[in-house]
Homo-oligomer: A and B are copies of this chain.
Amino acid sequence: MFDHALNSKKTRICKTSNKYINDTSKAMAMKKDLILIYSVQKEVTLLGGVMALLDWDEKTHMPARGIEARSEQMKMISDLMHQKMVSDELYSSLKTLRKEKLSLKDSIVVRELYKDVTKIRRLPREFVQLLTKETVLASQVWEKAKKKNDFSLFKPQLAKMVALMRKEAKYLHPNLKPYDGLLDENEEGMTSERLTKLFEPLKSELILLLNKIKASPEYKKQKEITVKMPIDEQKELILAMQSKMGVTSDVAQLDKSTHPFMTRISEHDVRMTTRYKKPLDAFLSSVHEGGHALYELNLPTQYTNTVIHSVPSTGIHESQSRIWENNIARSFAFWKGQKGFPTNLFRSANMVHPSFIRTESDEVTYCLHIILRYEIERDLINGTLSVDDAKAEWNKKFFTMFGIMPKSDNDGILQDTHWAIGAYGYFPCYAIGSIYASQLYMQMRKELPMDKLVAHQDFAPISKWLKEKVHSKGRTMLADEIIKKACGKGLDPEVFVKYLNEKYSKIYSI
C-alpha cells in the first residue's frame, strides 16, 4: 500500500525573473499569475509532506494516547491545504493563464492544476463534512461488524456510503456514469466499459489456469518452507536489496508497522514499513514498497513542487511495486542467484492455492479476487445491485471462480476496509497494476538481458529503464499512454496471461 492521496498534489516557485522593466503590462500580469500558481503548488506540496509525516508517525512511532491531538493536527493541515486549493485567487489566475500562450511546461502544469482545482471547487463544503463524518462512522461500524463476523451489522452504513459516493461521483464528474467517475479519480481516463471487456476473458483464463494447477501432481504435494531468521538479519537483507534497486539510505527509511506502506515526505525523502512475521513475506513486501518508493524518487525534477511531480494513477503506481515483487523477486532467475536466505524459497514464493482472503492470495488468483470486487462495487454504485443482495452475490461469484464457498462474512464480503473508508473505484487498480507490470516486464525482456541482470542482482539497468519509460513522465501523460509508449499497447491482459502461463506451466509441470 502507498499513501497516494497524500502525494497527489505537488510545486516550486517558478524561476521566473522578477525584473519587469521591459515587459508589457499583459506579460507582467501573466508572470504574476504564474508566480502565484507555482507558489500555491509549492505550499500545498510542503503541507502535503507535513501531512504524510503526521500520518507516517501515527502508524509507526506515536504513543497510543497521542491519537486525539494527532487527528486535530491532521485536520488542521488538511484544511489549510484545501483552503489554498479552492482560493478564488488561484482559480482566477488559472482561468487567465488557460487563455495565454504558455511554455510547454507551464501549459502542462496549468492544464492539470486547473483540472484538480475545478473538481475540488465543485464539492460543496457541507457535502465534504458529511462524507467525512459518515466515513468515520462507517469505519467504526465495519470494525464492529468484523469483530462479530456479521455483515448485516455493516449493511445500513454500507448503503449510506454507496449513496454518498454516487453523489460525490456526480459532483466530480457530472458527465460520467457514477462508477466511472469514481474510477477516474484513481485511474484517470479508464472506463468500466473498457475494463469489463478486458476483465471478462482474463477471468476465464485465470480460472482455467487455476484449475490446471489444482489438477497437477505438483500441486498436491506442494508445501510451504518456513525459515527462521533474526529480525536484524532480515532488515539487513531488505536494506541491501532496496539499495540495489536504487532506494538508498540517504533518501529512504525503513520502519515497522502493522500494515506495510510507503509514503513520500518530500522529493528526496521516502518512508517504507514492513512487518517481520515470516522472513519471506517481510522480504517480498519490502521489495514491493521499494518499487513504490523508487517511482516517487524518480519523478521529473523539472516539475518538482508542481502537480506534475506525482504519479498519474493508482494502477501504474501499483505496477511499480508489483514488477519488483512479482515479476522480478519471485522469478526463477532471482532465486537461482539468491544470496542471503538459508535455503532456496522459489517454490514457496510462488505457491498457488485458492484462498478466501485477498491479501493472502498468489499471483494467479489475485486478480480473480479483484475482478469479483470490481463487479460488485461497479453494480452497487451504478444501482444495479442492492446492498441487500451484495453478500449472496459475493458468495455466488466466489464459488464460480474458486470452487469453494466463504465460510463466514470475515472470509467473504467483510474482509476489506476499502468500502468502509470510501475507496470505491480503487480495487480494479490492483489488477491494472499487475497487468501493467507484466507488460513492462515482458517489454524489458526484449530490451535487456533480464535473467542475467536479475540473477546477479544487477538492478541498475532495470531501474534506469523504468525511470526513463515510466517514473520520469510524472503526470505529464495518462498512465495508459505511458504504458502504450513503453510497450506499444495500452492496458493488455493478454500479455499478463501469457506471462502467467509461461511461468506457472513450468512450476507445476502443466
> Chain A interface (Cβ within 8 Å of chain B)?
43, 46-47, 49-50, 53-54, 57, 61-66, 68-70, 72-73, 76-77, 80, 249-253, 255, 265-271
Q: Which of B63, B69, B255, B266 contacts A61 (CB 8 A)?
A: B255
CB-CB under 8 A from A271, the residues of chain B are 61
Q: Which of B43, B63, B268 contacts A63 (CB 8 A)?
A: B268
- Inter-chain contact A64/B250, CB cutoff 8 Å: yes
The 8 residue pairs across chains A and B that have the minimum distance between CB atoms: A66-B269, A69-B266, A65-B268, A64-B250, A65-B251, A65-B250, A46-B73, A63-B251
Nearest Cβ distance between residue A266 and chain B, in whole angstroms?
A: 3
Q: Which of B53, B249, B252 contacts A57 (CB 8 A)?
A: B53
Nearest Cβ distance between residue A148 and chain B, in whole angstroms?
A: 27
A405 to B69: give the CA distance in the assembly, Å.
Answer: 51
Q: Which of B43, B63, B80 contacts A269 (CB 8 A)?
A: B63
Q: Considering residues A57, A64, A68, which has the most beta carbons from chain B within 10 angstroms of its beta carbon?
A: A57
- Inter-chain contact A46/B63, CB cutoff 8 Å: no
A46 to B78: give the CA distance in the assembly, Å.
Answer: 13
Nearest Cβ distance between residue A270 and chain B, in whole angstroms?
A: 8
Nearest Cβ distance between residue A231 and chain B, in whole angstroms?
A: 11
- Inter-chain contact A76/B47, CB cutoff 8 Å: yes
A334 to B236: give the CA distance in the assembly, Å.
Answer: 39
Q: What are 11 A-B pairs at a CB distance below 8 A?
A: A49-B73, A50-B54, A50-B73, A53-B54, A53-B57, A62-B265, A63-B249, A63-B250, A63-B269, A66-B265, A68-B266
- Inter-chain contact B265/A69, CB cutoff 8 Å: yes
Nearest Cβ distance between residue A446 and chain B, in whole angstroms?
A: 34
CB-CB under 8 A from A61, the residues of chain B are 61, 253, 255, 271
A252 to B65: give the CA distance in the assembly, Å.
Answer: 9
- Inter-chain contact B63/A253, CB cutoff 8 Å: yes
- Inter-chain contact B255/A66, CB cutoff 8 Å: no
CB-CB under 8 A from A269, the residues of chain B are 62-63, 65-66, 69-70
- Given A62-B269, A250-B64, decide whether A69 and B46 contact each other with a Cβ distance below 8 A: yes
CB-CB under 8 A from A53, the residues of chain B are 53-54, 57
CB closest chain-B residue, reference A12: B72
CB closest chain-B residue, reference A255: B61
CB closest chain-B residue, reference A77: B50
CB-CB under 8 A from A68, the residues of chain B are 266, 268
